[in-house]
Amino acid sequence: VAALWRSGSAATPGLTRSGRLLSVGLLIQRKAVLTPDLTELETRASDLFTRLDFERSRLSDFELRDRAESEAAKRSLSAAAEGKVQVARDGAVITAKDLMQRWAAEQQAVTLASREAADPSLKRPAVLLSTDADLCLPCCPVVDGDASLRAACDRLLELMGLTASCRLLGNAPVGLHTYKYKKSPVSLFLHRAIFTGADWRSAEASGSWKWVDADSLPGRVPDRRLLKKLRLLAAEF
Q: Look up the CATH number of the domain holding residue 14.
A: 3.90.79
Specify if 157 maps to a domain: yes
Looking at the predicted structure, is the pLDDT value of residue 77 above 60?
yes
Residue 114 lies in a domain: no
| Least confident span in 7-11, 78-82, 90-94, 222-226 | 7-11
Q: What is the mean pLDDT of residues 201-225?
A: 75
207 pLDDT exceeds 70? yes
Torsion over CA of 214, 219, 225 and 230, rounded to 10 degrees?
A: -20
Environment class of 154 (CB within 10 Å of its CB; exposed 0-12, middle 13-18, buried 19+): middle
Domain that holds residue 194: 2-33+121-236
Confidence of residue 22 (pLDDT cuts 50, 70, 90): low
Q: Does residue 155 carry a pLDDT above 80?
A: no
CB-based contact 203:128 (threshold 8 Å): yes
29 vs 170: CA distance, rounded Å: 17
At residue 188, φ and ψ (nearest 5 deg) are -105, 105
> pTM of this prediction?
0.44
Q: Which residues contact 219 (CB under 8 A, 6 or more apart)?
A: none
- Strand, coil or helix: 184: strand
Q: Report the pLDDT value the prediction gives residue 16, as an integer from 0 to 100.
A: 40
Percent of the chain scoring above 90 in pLDDT: 0
Q: Is 16 domain-assigned?
A: yes
Residues 162 and 85 in one domain: no
The average confidence (pLDDT) of the chain is 69
Pick the closest to residue 146 from 189, 184, 175 (CA basis): 189
In a domain, 116, yes or no: no
Report how many domains make up the chain.
2
Instruction: Look at residue 220 and tell me whether its pLDDT is greater than 70.
Output: yes
Mean pLDDT calculated for residue range 203-213: 75
Final residue in a domain of this structure, among 53, 78, 108? 108
Residues in the chain: 237
Q: Which pLDDT belongs to residue 5?
A: 45
The pLDDT value given to residue 197 = 67
The answer to whether residues 46 and 134 belong to one domain is no
**pLDDT (0 to 100) of residue 83:** 63
Res. 6: pLDDT tops 50: no
- One-character DSSP codes across 42-107: HHHHHHHHHHHHHHHHTS-HHHHHHHHHHHHHHHHHHHHHTT----S--SSS--HHHHHHHHHHHH
Domain boundary among 108, 133, 162: 108
Q: Would you tell me how many other CB atoms lie within 10 Å of the CB of residue 217?
A: 19
Type and span of the H or E element at 177: strand 175-181
144 compared with 73, residue with greater pLDDT: 73
Residue 162 belongs to what H/E stretch?
A: none
Q: What is the pLDDT of residues 28-70, one digit of tens each?
A: 555 555 566 778 888 888 888 877 777 777 777 677 777 778 8
